[in-house]
Amino acid sequence: MKKKIIHFVKQETVLCAALALATVSMFFVRPDGEYLSYIDFRTLAILFCLMGVMSGLQKTGVFQWVAQALLERVKKARQLVWILVLLCFFSSMAVTNDVALITFVPFTFIVLDLVGSEARGRLLVPVVVLQTIAANLGSMLTPIGNPQNLYLYGKAGISLGSFLLLMLPYTLVSFLFVMLWSTVQTRKYDAPIAVSFAENVHLSDKKLQLAAYLLLFVADLLTVARVIPYGPALLATVIGILVIDRSIFGRVDYSLLLTFVGFFVFIGNMGRIPAFHDFLQRIVSGNELLVGAAASQVISNVPAALLLSGFTENLAPLVIGVNIGGLGTLIASMASLISYKFVAREDSAAKGAYFRYFTAVNICFLVILLLFASFFM
């Protein structure tokens, strides 16, 4: 039993921290009727819908189908790296950074196995690191790209167009540097490469499922854009999954939803303690960009967004800060841990090299984007 508890805490460290903070805060502010007002049910509902629909789309194989279609046209190593990295950059805008990495990092291992041991040895670590950076940076453009954006977009109450315009300059700069780094990485190794899959993904027998999930995804997008209420979208998603494939419910990340609830309770309670509220407000107010990025390095950017948003009215620099703050340490974005775990499982000997390269490149990107944000804002 003790081992199971220790294993759970290691696997769900952020969730346990959120629930612990919520529990401690209850000793200072006893549970009452205001607790329900802490919870952002809209964010939780949309997050659940998106996770369910993305899991369904992933299960149809549509992402692998797109990737195969692109990779079969590859002629050189540089083109291979560009496609593998940009798949994560652009897909994360719609399917979230987590789903992009869960889908395309294992796919990358398969592709590199097909092109030979030399290419695999040279490219595995840098490609997966760049995929991780690309997914984290690409996801910052849209409200549905990552959980912190979804929450802060809803809290700020701004239009979809305003959010896109806010994040567009940082996304464009990120794209340029991702492409530049990918090109430099293959400068010494741009050998001819041919990718041929032994078995292609076919969607002919999954057209109805694919169409249904895409319709649900459109409904979710309309909900994010505040065109339709979240209640009908949630109901449609639940019914849709029940009809199409009930196993999708088991693929939803409920620990993330509970993490949100834990932080909602903690932030709500701390906001009712004047001394604590005023203290954090003095630290955060006027320093949202740097505090958001710095906090993300220690507690990850989703908890940082949830925590700091309760102590400032100026959410625009906070959105930028926690998104850029997803770079840096391995835990700055929880999505980064997905890639690391995949690499550790695929090639345990590469863990050290991966961690060193990941840290070095992430710090470079973090510094560049923070400097750009400081001058641009």
CA-to-CA distance for 183 and 171, rounded, in angstroms?
Answer: 18
Write out the two tokens for 273: 């303690």
φ/ψ bin of 69: left (φ > 0), alpha (ψ from -120 to 50), beta (otherwise) = alpha
* End-to-end C-alpha distance for the chain, whole angstroms: 52
pTM of the predicted structure, to 2 decimals: 0.85
- Quick one: pLDDT at residue 198? 62
| Identity at 320, one-letter amino acid code | I
Helix (H, G, I), strand (E, B) or coil at 159: coil
Write out the two tokens for 19: 């629930």
Contact 29, 273 (CB under 8 A): yes
Contact 164, 141 (CB under 8 A): yes
Write out the two tokens for 66: 């797109």
Residue 76 backbone phi and psi in degrees, to 5: -135, 165
Distance of CA 353 to the CA centre of its chain: 23
CA-to-CA distance for 226 and 368, rounded, in angstroms?
Answer: 34
Q: Where are the alpha helices (DSSP H) in the chain?
A: 2-11, 13-28, 35-38, 41-60, 62-71, 77-95, 97-114, 117-138, 147-156, 160-185, 207-224, 230-244, 254-270, 274-284, 288-299, 301-308, 315-324, 334-346, 351-376
Residue 248 DSSP symbol: G
- Quick one: pLDDT at residue 130? 96
Distance of CA 2 to the CA centre of its chain: 31
CA-to-CA distance for 6 and 57, rounded, in angstroms?
Answer: 33
CA-to-CA distance for 377 and 374, rounded, in angstroms?
Answer: 6
- Quick one: pLDDT at residue 180? 94
| Identity at 52, one-letter amino acid code | G
Sign of CA dihedral 82, 83, 88, 89: positive
Write out the two tokens for 35: 């607790």
User: How would you write the pLDDT of the chain (377 residues) with one tens digit per residue?
Assistant: 777 888 787 777 778 888 998 999 999 999 898 899 889 899 899 989 988 998 898 888 888 888 888 777 777 878 888 989 999 999 999 888 988 998 889 888 888 877 777 767 778 899 999 999 999 999 999 999 999 999 999 999 889 999 999 999 999 999 999 999 999 888 776 667 766 666 677 777 788 999 999 999 999 889 988 889 999 999 999 999 999 999 999 988 898 889 889 988 988 898 888 888 888 889 998 899 999 999 999 888 988 998 899 888 899 999 999 999 999 998 899 889 889 888 888 887 888 899 999 999 999 999 999 999 998 87
